[in-house]
Each structure stands twice: as structure tokens, then as C-alpha cells.
Amino acid sequence: MQTDSSFTFVLFGGTGDLSMRKILPALFEAHRAGGMLADSGKIVAVARHIADRAAYIDWVNEHVKPHVSKNGVDETAWASFLDRIEFVKIDLGKPEDFTLLRDALSGRPGIRVFYLATGPSLFVPICHALASVGLNENSRIVLEKPLGYDLKSSNAINDAVGEIFAEEQIYRIDHYLGKEPVQNLLALRFGNVLFEPLWRREWVESIQITIAEELGVEARGDFYDNTGALRDMVQNHLLQLLSIVAMEPPHSMDSDSVRDEKLRVLRALKPIDPRDIGKVAVRGQYHAGVIRGSAVPAYATEPGVKQDSTTETFVAVKVEIENWRWAGVPFFLRTGKRLADRVAEIVVNFRAVPHSALGASALRGGANRLVIRLQPNETIRLYCLAKQPGEGMNLASVHLDLAFDRFFREGQMEAYQRLLLDVINGRLALFVRRDEQEAAWRWVEPILNEWAASNKPPKPYAAGTWGPAAASAMLAQHGTCWLEEEN
């Protein structure tokens, strides 16, 4: 992916955790690879509690370097990467400070990218301050989640940002859309005649999408306790993955063609009747438990969390899509903290054969299954039945495995690296359009409202397990189970 596009990448929140762990490491990997970033491209970090560039470079050496290049740091590449970095000391609460940024960017060629790696409360003030000094022209702005607390607050942010930046300048980032297997899901479906005829209600029994974490809320207790898993993960990551799985073939891979098809899926989600929320949505909260031999505390005792908190750390929800392709097929979405393993995957369970002369195993649902693993090891695995060696017709499950790190010699591109390059090069397909975001908020709001009005606490589950038993019971009602429960 060669580029000659000159750019200036302005990083607000330049000393924050996201910048240290994800954004700057991703930019370094693009720099180290050669040819992905224009030689003239610069990174301008913005922060208020660092004195000058020398102090910021010291900060980067201490906090970013441990997160780059798993096999060791190329010191020559690292030194030349640091040459790209500049620094402007700004107090984001003082709009007059933005004249310093304007002066620092004056006369630079190419596009300006403003990455807002800050809390959402700062999005609108930063945009207004940029406009006040004329920096909203010839620029792109990247907004991190969460974008609002509900549909009303999300619209308020989008309205305010939209007064300053056109929609084609706004990049609402969801890093799951940049993961290699998600890209390969598009290739698998739309590049191969083998799967597309099967990708519909006649042949698919159910679909599961899981994003599970072993970690708790860490140092984000104060933020998380006012957010919860439904807002933090379902409204964005899980519904975006759902829309990719269920979308119709776009006429091309240009940004609006892809996002138009995703939007149709989100608008076709069956509205949830508030009276049925207890049947189709499970919320849980982790209690003390053991993960990989280490005791971990309950959510309510985490720093920054209210002791009587009813915030959910686990959500499982059944989703239906009201269109001809998917009518009647249940989609089960699940996410949680302090679960038994760290995994993100999409599981497509195909229907059993209508009749089998080979025994009952061929009639079992899920005998044919496609598992798309997003993390930790990015793979696509197709399960089918084959005869076991030996006497008799005994069937066993086998799989065809596409492990990207074994099949492709070149290293995989991390999600943030791909998405940042797309911003710099003006590619919008992997970013969330405003109408997609509104449709997602509109669908989750009945659940949010019902949980807020309910006096029922979240269902408890022990840290190190797979969540409340009610999540398994919900699938059992449909004659299926979560993938890890198969055996």
C-alpha cells in the first residue's frame, strides 16, 4: 500500500492510554513497514501537562516503546519515527490556545487529520476551537467511542460536529471493523460462489457473535460504571459485526455502497417489545472469582465503582432481522468482562441434513459450522463431518483451517494500523456513518430504558466463568448452546 499523500496527524490526548497502547504503535508499524506513510508526513501530539517536545519524546520512549514490535524494536526505524513527532502544549479548556496549533500547522502541505483520543465531553469544544482558528478546512476528524450516552446525546454530538465538519470529513472509528478476519469475511462471502448460496435462512440455523474479556474494568471503573456493557460493546462493536455478517452484497466496495448495506441490516432489526426484554436480553455483573489461578475482586469493589452499582458487565441478547434473507434465524450476541477466556468470534451454525443414512451425528445441528476467530488468534475454521478410520461408518468432526499467520508470509496488519491509513488516505468504508449509529442507538434504547426503570439487579456470575446461567438457558430454548458448551 504505497502512498505519496502528505499529511499532518494531530493527536489530541497525546499522553492518554489509547495513544500510548494503540495509536502511536500503529503509526510506528506503518512507518517501519516503509512506503505506507509519506516521508513528509508528521505527527503532532497535543497535551497540557508535558513541557516541550523533548519531554514528550521521553514520555513516548517510556510509555509507547513497550507496546511496539513484539519481536523487538528496530532502533533505526524507531529513531526515524521519533523524527516525525512534534509537540504542541495546549490546554483544551482554553480555546485561545488553539492559535498555537494553528501557527504550528501553518504552511504544511497535504491533509490534516485530527484524532480525538479524548473523552466525548471534549469532542464538541475541540471542534469549535478548531473552527475558530480556521482548521476545519482541508481536514478529517476521527471520533472515538463512546459517541454519546443514548440516542439524544449522540445526536447532540453529531449535530454539533456536523455544523463544523461535513459528513465525509468525519471518521467514527470502530476498531473491530479493521480486523483482518472481518475483512476476510467480506472476501469469503462476496469473492466465493461456494458460500453465498448458503448464507441465508434456508441453510443457517443460528449465528453467535461473542466478544469476551478476561480483564475487569481496570482503571476505568469511574467511566465504566456510567456506561456498562450494552453501551460500551453492543451498541457499536457487536451490532457493527452483525451488520457485516448479515448484509447483502454491495454493488462495489466503495464506502457508501458498503455502509448502505450495513444500514439496511440495522434498520431491519426486529424492535424489542419492552415486555419481552426479560426473555431476549440477559444482563449480569461479575462477583469475585478466580481467573487462571489468580483471585480477582467483584465488580462492586473495583476502584471508582459504586458499591451498590447495578451496571451490567455482561450482556447476552437475541436479535432477529426482519428481511427475506434472515427471517426466523436467531442471532445471539454476547459480551462480558472477567469471563473464562479472551476471545472474539463469529459462529455460523448451518442446518443439519434433512435425512441421514449415516447415523444421528449427521442430523445434529452445528455439524457444519463456520467459526471466524477475531482474537486472540485470527483464523477462519470450517467444520464438517468425515468418516473415522477403521471399521464401520463412524463420523467425526474435522475442520479446514485458514490460519493467516501460517498461510501468508507477510505479517498481518493490526486493526488500528489499517484504519489510520484509511483515514490518511480518505477511505471511509470501514468507518461508521451517522445514520448507522442512529439506527443502532434506536434499537438498543428500549433495553436501556427498561433496565433503567427496573428494580431488578443484574444477574451475578463468578469471575472466570462464561456469565450467568440465564444466557445459556436463552439459547437452550432454541435448541442450541454457546460454542464452548458443545463438549
pLDDT > 70 fraction of the chain, expressed in percent and rounded: 95
Residue 128 marked in a binding site: no
* Three-class DSSP labels, 69-86: CCCCCCHHHHHHHHHHEE
Residue 103 marked in a binding site: no
Q: What is the mean pLDDT of the chain?
A: 91
- In whole angstroms, give the CA distance from residue 215 to residue 342: 8
Residue 186 marked in a binding site: no
Amino acid at 47: A
Per-residue pLDDT tens for 105-132? Answer: 998 989 999 999 998 889 999 999 999 9
Q: Which residue pairs from 475-480 have beta carbons closer than 8 angstroms and sit at least 24 positions apart in sequence? A: 475/332, 478/206, 478/318, 478/330, 479/365, 480/205, 480/206, 480/349, 480/365, 480/366
pTM score: 0.92
Residue 397 phi/psi, 5-degree rounding, is: -80, 130
Per-residue pLDDT tens for 174-211? Answer: 998 998 888 888 888 888 888 888 999 999 999 999 99
- In whole angstroms, give the CA distance from residue 93 to residue 129: 10
Domain residue limits, the chain: 7-144, 177-413+432-485
Is 399 annotated as catalytic? no
Per-residue pLDDT tens for 378-408? Answer: 888 888 888 788 777 777 788 888 776 677 6
Cell 467444520 sits on residue: 383
Per-residue pLDDT tens for 218-256? Answer: 878 888 999 999 999 999 999 999 999 999 999 988 889
Cell matching residue 376: 486472540
Residue 175 marked in a binding site: yes
DSSP 3-state helix, strand, coil percentages of the chain (rounded to 5)? 40, 20, 40
Residue 253: name the closest of 171, 187, 178 by CA: 187
Largest CA distance in the chain: 82
Structurally, at CATH architecture level, domain 7-144 sits in: 3-Layer(aba) Sandwich (3.40)
Residue 232 marked in a binding site: yes
Per-residue pLDDT tens for 276-309? Answer: 999 999 999 999 999 999 999 999 999 999 999 9
Which of 63, 67, 237, 478 is labelled catalytic?
Answer: 237
**In this structure, which topology does domain 177-413+432-485 adopt according to CATH?**
Dihydrodipicolinate Reductase; domain 2 (3.30.360)
